[in-house]
Structure 1
């Protein structure tokens, strides 16, 4: 049976067929773990509270476990001031 929405090459989780980044999901205010990589620019900053524009309060807790961006203050020795 064919996909009624068409096959655009992107998985339901936002991963591309060749591991590329799904740009519409970057910087959208939601942390997408499959895009939380250096190659995908840490999902446009969505996975760290200090770098996420327009994020909800849920992200403050989530960033403790999902913030992988080494440049984010959550991962600095002095923390976020």
Structure 2
């Protein structure tokens, strides 16, 4: 295999793993209707980081980086939204 092909395979695997890494947390929060163990600060920083990556990628026109970080932003944003939703449930 050529180096560019290997780089593409590794990059694709990294993107898919990053995107899907949020799914177990989303499912757990949704199933238990409890997000008390989720750190609001951590996910706020994570969402901000993905937004910065998207801005950077748009500036350099790196479409694979835009796509993967947009998906990660949506997934981590879902965790943040569920944290907010279920934190307000008891109020």
TM-score with structure 1 length normalisation?
0.29
The structure that is helix-richer by fraction is: 2
The normalised TM-score by structure 2 is 0.27
Higher relative contact order (CA 8 A, sep 6+): 2
Q: Which has the larger radius of gyration?
A: 2
